[in-house]
Structure 1
Amino acid sequence: MDLATIIGMVVGGTVIIIAIMLGGSFGAFVDMPSMLIVIGGGMAATLIRFPLAGVMVAFQTGGKVAFTHTKVESRELIDKIAEMGDIVRRAGPLGLESVEIDEPNLAKGAQMIADGYDGSFIRESMELARDQYLTRLMEGQRVFKSLGDAAPAFGMIGTLVGLVQMLGNMDDPSAIGPSMAVALLTTLYGAVISNLICLPVADKLTAKLGFEEINQTLIIDGVMSVRDGKSPALIREMLVAYLPENQRSEELPEAA
């Protein structure tokens, strides 16, 4: 569970609601035509840009990363891969069948080593899995970025619709209020949806993409080193290059 996302959205929503309640009635800020323009228009624009299947996958990926994202540190992966190398040297490839591995692609690589697959096949299979995973993250980022861009734009469209309705009914005072509500609330809804939901999730997916690209490449190189029978110390020394420079000195003494 990613508490940062939940806390951020709850705090942001709470601040907006408190500001509304301090200044008047919450009901005055609920307007269905405004919601229809912003949400419906934003979704329509996104569906025009992306295929339906891609949008559905993007929502699943974004929700998973934003709310249930569990970050696996590169150092933990290096430790686990070095442990796998030690097991292979002591018990052979079949010893990996009893190792508990949480990271899916690393677990897949360990199983293929245990099953005796050819090295080139293992690398190609794992690189394909990595590329497909990164592509899903990239598509999710693009869809949420598109929604984040479309929401304020449709908020502006709603503002123009409301102003046109208001100016067209200046002789009817009872129509001015609802038209003005559409004009103002669509801008509010567009800004909130974009800046509190869509763009933060898009940024989180972007960060996840960069992090996972490094981790998945580390896993592939580590699995191939284990498959080639390299020593745990050599594996650790090779993989430590994937760590930020300020963390490398903490890992290297362990290899000595």
Structure 2
Amino acid sequence: MGIYWILFIGIALISWIVQSRFKSKFKKYSEVPLSSGLSGAEVAQKMLQDNGIYDVQIHVANQGQLSDHYNPTNKTVNLSPEVYHGRSVAAAAVASHECGHAVQHATAYSWLQFRSAMVPVVSIASRLTSWVLMAGVLLMAFGGNPWVLAIGVGALFLTTLFSFVTLPVEFDASGRALKWLETANITHSREEHDGAKDALKWAAMTYVVAALSALVTLLYYAYILFARRD
């Protein structure tokens, strides 16, 4: 069991470092003006149009900083205020990344389709997982049947799988964004393009760490389940 606590602490430390680094990079490139002078909203609109997408709306998200996301259900690109109104390298990078998801949706990108199909089930599983796992561990501690914990581990497997399915979706969206920023001449200089690439790299790293954290948690509870059954 000791190895799992070491992994938990290690993942928590790495997560904190990556999150801090990402926020630092976003702040840094938010202060670098985009030479094209376009706002995040204008970048998003141009990328959608360049990809022949005219049925996606661009909104200001109201959840606060770094709340940017694409909603495939109502086909909206939702940008945080600093990205929507910002005229910086960071704003262009984030706006084009979210539009990358819209392009994925429009072109029926397989990983996005798989991820979207998982959402209803994972949404239910994520709400129940912590309570079921807690109940399962308590029952087994008092010699109870392991089936409750087994259900919890199954639900946790689904949420972990979802985290890993998210990775190719996010990396692909960033790849599409960076390619378009360069070909559309939005990032005029090499410094601007490298800055956008650096910002998106650290954003992607937050998803990698989240997936690894989910995997460690899954292995921990699976160990409890199968060790006690033996």
C-alpha displacement at 1:159, in angstroms? 2.6
Q: Identity across aligned pairs (percent)?
A: 7
User: Which residue among 85, 96, 100 is the counterpart of 1:34?
Assistant: 96
Look up the match of 1:48. Answer: 113
The amino acid across from 2:114 in the alignment is R
Query: Where do 1:219-234 residues align within 5 Å?
Result: 219-220=228-229
C-alpha displacement at 1:203, in angstroms? 0.5
Q: Which sections of structure 1, spanning at least 5 residues, go unmatched?
A: 66-101, 114-121, 167-175, 222-256
How high is the TM-score relative to the length of structure 1?
A: 0.46
CA RMSD in angstroms comes to: 4.2
Give the direction of change, closer, same or farther, for the CA distance of 1:105–1:33 in structure 2 (3 Å limit). closer
Query: Where do 1:117-128 residues align within 5 Å?
Result: 123=145, 126=146, 128=147
Cα distance in 1 for partners of 2:217, 2:159 equals 11
Per the alignment, in what secondary structure is the counterpart of residue 30 of structure 1?
helix
Give the direction of change, closer, same or farther, for the CA distance of 1:189–1:39 in structure 2 (3 Å limit). farther
User: Which residue among 163, 173, 178 is the counterpart of 1:159?
Assistant: 178
Q: Is the 8 A contact 2:29 2:195 kept in 1?
A: no
- Bigger relative contact order (CA 8 A; separation at least 6): 1
Look up the match of 2:70. Answer: none
Cα distance in 1 for partners of 2:197, 2:125 equals 25
C-alpha displacement at 1:13, in angstroms? 2.6
Q: Does 1:131 align with 2:150?
A: yes
Provide Cα deviations, 1:95-137, integer angstroms capped at 9, x if missing partner: xxxxxxx9422433477x6xxxxxxxx54xx2x3233222222
Give the direction of change, closer, same or farther, for the CA distance of 1:185–1:148 in structure 2 (3 Å limit). farther
Provide Cα deviations, 1:19-44, integer angstroms capped at 9, x if missing partner: 437x7458512126414224556787
Cα distance in 1 for partners of 2:126, 2:28 equals 30
C-alpha displacement at 1:164, in angstroms? 3.7
Q: Is the 8 A contact 1:38 1:155 kept in 2?
A: yes
The amino acid across from 2:139 in the alignment is K
Give the direction of change, closer, same or farther, for the CA distance of 1:16–1:37 in structure 2 (3 Å limit). same
Cα distance in 1 for partners of 2:202, 2:126 equals 18
The amino acid across from 1:149 in the alignment is P
Q: Does 1:207 align with 2:216?
A: yes
Q: Does 1:192 align with 2:202?
A: yes
Cα distance in 1 for partners of 2:184, 2:174 equals 15
Query: Where do 1:48-127 residues align within 5 Å?
Result: 48-50=113-115, 51=117, 52-57=119-124, 103-109=134-140, 123=145, 126=146
Look up the match of 2:73. Answer: none
Give the direction of change, closer, same or farther, for the CA distance of 1:151–1:106 in structure 2 (3 Å limit). closer
Look up the match of 1:78. Answer: none
When the two structures are aligned, how many residues end up with a matched partner?
159
User: Which residue among 168, 186, 191 is the counterpart of 1:149?
Assistant: 168
Query: Where do 1:168-187 residues align within 5 Å?
Result: 187=197
How high is the TM-score relative to the length of structure 2?
A: 0.50
